[in-house]
Chains A and B, each alone.
Chain A
């Protein structure tokens, strides 16, 4: 695996994967980490929090505080309408892109 080349690609894609994960249910940061754990897209909180903060400021995500059994309330993220639109656009774009990649070359 060509790590440095693919690292940039993974970094750019992470945001869209988060949109996908958050689309199914309101999730907490640790849920996102856990969902990606063991995959090529595995990430850590140090990377995730700045990204979640940016996506929230862009209006793609929103969060609410929910009580937890252990410790203080946690932030549960969910998609906004803008986030849902972006996820749909991304999926369409990705399908078009993979179609193009598959048809080029041998």
Chain B
């Protein structure tokens, strides 16, 4: 069984039908591009440019519009376009960063309730299971008082989608 996903790229009138792995690769690339352009005022423009370029490369590769885009098609198109940004380098590891610049956020990726513990774990560089265990223990010991702390944090903290976004946020604050 194959899942086929229809994708519309940029202003291309012709939507593409892609295999699931091709769709995932495309999605990962564009999400990565957005993250590496965090804080760049041209972010939306550059992503639109990239989408259009990908669409053109796919059009060149697919002899007929009926053919479904494969992972190999996407890989070839993305390899020709290359990594986005100046170097395509990953941000420096967290441990090398000064602690003062960090900002506590909620992180949606891997969240159980509102992502507060994910955010705390990233901030304190602890495993999220430990943070959750401590939170649950504190809630039990304090007869529910820490649940209120959690709720306040859930409303008060800014939210980011993934841990990678959170790291990217640190990068643009350092500039």
Residues of chain A touching chain B, judged by Cβ–Cβ distance below 8 Å, are 11, 29-30, 44-47, 49-50, 52-54, 56-57, 70-75
Contacts and interface: CB of A to CB of B under 8 A. Distances in A.
25 contacts: A11-B86, A29-B49, A29-B53, A45-B49, A45-B53, A45-B80, A46-B81, A46-B82, A46-B83, A46-B84, A46-B88, A47-B82, A49-B50, A49-B53, A50-B37, A50-B85, A53-B40, A53-B46, A53-B49, A71-B14, A71-B55, A72-B11, A72-B12, A72-B13, A72-B52
A47 B53 CA distance: 13
A69 B83 CA distance: 28
A50 B84 contact: yes
Interface residues of B, number: 27
Interface of B: 10-14, 33, 37, 40-42, 45-46, 49-50, 52-53, 55-56, 59, 80-86, 88
A57 B42 CA distance: 8
A50 B50 CA distance: 10
Nearest to A53: B42
Contacts of B42: 50, 53-54, 56-57
**What 10 pairs across the A-B complex have the smallest Cβ distances?**
A44-B82, A53-B42, A46-B82, A46-B84, A49-B49, A45-B81, A72-B11, A49-B46, A46-B83, A53-B45
B64 to A, nearest CB: 14
A29 B53 CA distance: 9
